[in-house]
């Protein structure tokens, strides 16, 4: 119960969307198919700069696929993505990614600091090694997520929540403008959840755009100011205050879906 209070305190009204009218991400007619079965169909999406956006939808709705297609991990069969008005592959340095925690082998022989340092590799490019500057940035990122004390821990000896924080720190160190996160709250403890959402809100304050695949509908209005409903097609996208309602939830989740939305 105490934790719920903390969350509410963190979410005060002065944190309204800092939208600047500039488009951070623009997706046009994006279609992705696995084995020639469409999993995302003709998605048009405009994400304004400075929003903290949740992507919600039932299992198999293509939420992770959408992020992966935007980031070029999956090849779409149609459509295009632009980041601040230019094709994605020219704007890679503006984008950071937090994959699902389960997508990697946590028994890999490496330390927490080492994983965070990987975030600096993109800017370094081929062959060049990270130096003092990169290490300093990585330590700062570790401190931001409250993991500085664990920097030389082997990653398998971290709890699920701590592993997620390491992933977050790795994205922070990329110093990007747009952050894509695939279910960052899955399997983490309550303290980590608060820590993560506070960092996301800080990012938004600094004018960054944050896009999160999210599962827990109850927390959408508390955590986010923008939301996209997705189920193979885009159902709706816009400010949480305007579109997070039973009507859109039902359209997305099929059966009469009711959630007590706190407004």
Partner 1 sequence: MNLQEYFSLVFSDYTLRTITLGTAILGAVTGMLGSFAVLRKQSLLGDAISHAALPGIALAFLITGAKDSNTLLIGALVSGLLGTFWIRGIISKTHLKSDTALGLILSLFFGFGMLLLTFIQKQPNANQAGLDKYLFGQAATLVESDVWLMAIITGICVVVMFLFWKEFKLLLFDADYTKTLGFNTKIIDILITTFIVLAIVLGLQTVGVVLMSAMLLAPAAAARQWTNSLSTMVLLAAIFGAFSGVFGTAISASQDNLSTGPVIVLVASVFVIFSFVFSPSRGLLFRQIRFISNRRDLEFQKTLSFMYHIAETHDDISHPHTIKILNNFQGFTRKTLQKLVDKNYVTIDGTMWSLTEEGFKTAANLYNQNIKTHE
Partner 2 sequence: MNSAQFEIQLIASLVAIACAIPGTFLVLRKMAMISDAISHSILPGIVVGFFITQDLNSPWLILLAAFTGVITVALVERIQKTGLVKEDTAIGLVFPALFSIGVIMIAKNANDVHLDVDAVLLGELAFAPFDRLTAGGTDIGPKSLWVIGTILTITIGLLIAFFKELKVSTFDPGLSASLGFSPLVIHYGLMTVSSVTTVGAFDAVGAILVVALMIAPAACAYLLTTDLKKMLGLAVFFGVFSAISGYWMAHWLDASIAGSITTMLGVVFLLIYLFAPSKGLIAVMYRDKQQRIEVSLLTFLLHLKNHSEVRERHVNHLNEHINWQKVKSETVLDLALKNNMILINQNIVSLTAKGDEFTSQAIDYIITNEDAQIEDMKEDFFLFRG
Site residues for partner 2 per CB under 8 A: 28-29, 31, 33, 36-38, 41-42, 44, 60, 77-80, 107, 231-233, 254
> Quick check: 184 and 168 in contact, CB under 8 A?
yes
> What tokens were used for 91?
């704007």
Buried/exposed code over 207-238 (b: 16+ C-beta within 10 A; e: otherwise): ebbbbbbbeebebbbebbbbbbbbbbbbbbbb
CA neighbor of 116 nearest in space, from 174, 162, 192, 183: 174
Half-sphere exposure of 169 (CA within 13 A, CB side): 32
Q: Which does 233 bind (CB under 5 to 8 A by kind): partner 2, partner 1, none?
A: partner 2
| Residue 123 Cβ vs partner 2, minimum distance, rounded to whole Å | 28
Q: Which does 130 bind (CB under 5 to 8 A by kind): partner 2, partner 1, none?
A: partner 1
Q: Which does 121 bind (CB under 5 to 8 A by kind): partner 1, partner 2, none?
A: partner 1
Q: Which does 127 bind (CB under 5 to 8 A by kind): partner 1, partner 2, none?
A: partner 1
Q: What order of strands is seen across the sheet that includes strand 233-239?
A: 95-98, 178-182, 209-213, 52-56, 226-231, 233-239
How many CB atoms sit inside 10 A of residue 156's CB?
12
Q: Which does 36 bind (CB under 5 to 8 A by kind): partner 2, partner 1, none?
A: partner 2
Distances (CA, A) of 252 to 182, 214, 245, 255: 19, 14, 11, 9
Residue nearer to partner 2 on the CB measure, 42 or 189: 42
> Quick check: 153 and 125 in contact, CB under 8 A?
no
| Residue 62 Cβ vs partner 1, minimum distance, rounded to whole Å | 16
The torsion angles phi and psi of 15, rounded to 5 degrees, stand at -100, 40
Q: Which does 118 bind (CB under 5 to 8 A by kind): partner 2, partner 1, none?
A: partner 1
| Residue 27 Cβ vs partner 1, minimum distance, rounded to whole Å | 16
| Residue 185 Cβ vs partner 2, minimum distance, rounded to whole Å | 25
Site for partner 1 in 132-161 (CB under 8 A): 154
| Coil/strand/helix, residue 83 | strand
In terms of Cβ atoms closer than 10 Å to its own Cβ (0-12, 13-18, 19+), residue 130 is: middle
| Residue 32 Cβ vs partner 2, minimum distance, rounded to whole Å | 10
| Residue 31 Cβ vs partner 2, minimum distance, rounded to whole Å | 4
| Residue 242 Cβ vs partner 2, minimum distance, rounded to whole Å | 21
Q: Which does 102 bind (CB under 5 to 8 A by kind): partner 1, partner 2, none?
A: none
Interface pick for partner 1 out of 108, 143, 149, 218 (rule CB under 8 A): 108
> Quick check: 50 and 207 in contact, CB under 8 A?
yes
One character per residue 204-223, x = contact with partner 1 (rule: CB under 8 A): --------------------
Contact residues for partner 1 (CB under 8 A)?
A: 68, 71-73, 89, 92-93, 95, 97, 99, 103-105, 108-111, 114-115, 118, 121-122, 124-130, 154
């Amino acid at each position: 119960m105490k934790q719920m209070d903390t969350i509410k305190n963190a979410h005060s009204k002065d944190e309204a969307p800092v939208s600047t009218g500039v488009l951070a991400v623009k997706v046009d007619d994006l279609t992705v198919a696995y084995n020639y079965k469409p999993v995302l169909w003709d998605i048009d999406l405009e994400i304004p700069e400075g929003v903290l956006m949740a992507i919600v939808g039932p299992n198999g709705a293509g939420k992770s696929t959408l992020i992966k297609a935007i980031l070029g991990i999956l090849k779409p069969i149609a459509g295009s993505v632009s980041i601040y008005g230019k094709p994605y592959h020219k704007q890679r340095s503006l984008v950071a990614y937090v994959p699902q925690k389960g997508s990697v082998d946590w028994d890999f022989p490496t330390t927490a600091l080492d994983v965070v340092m990987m975030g600096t590799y993109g800017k370094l490019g081929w062959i060049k090694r990270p130096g003092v500057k990169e290490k300093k940035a990585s330590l700062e990122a570790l401190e931001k997520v409250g993991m500085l004390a664990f920097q030389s821990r082997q990653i398998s000896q971290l709890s699920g929540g701590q592993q997620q924080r390491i992933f977050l720190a790795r994205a922070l160190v990329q110093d990007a403008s747009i952050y894509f996160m695939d279910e960052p709250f899955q399997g983490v403890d309550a303290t980590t959840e608060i820590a993560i959402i506070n960092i996301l809100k800080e990012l938004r304050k600094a004018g960054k755009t944050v896009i999160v695949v999210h599962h827990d509908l109850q927390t959408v209005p508390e955590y986010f100011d923008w939301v996209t409903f997705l189920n193979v097609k885009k159902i709706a996208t816009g400010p949480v205050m305007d579109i997070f309602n039973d009507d859109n939830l039902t359209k997305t989740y099929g059966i009469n879906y009711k959630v007590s939305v706190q407004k």
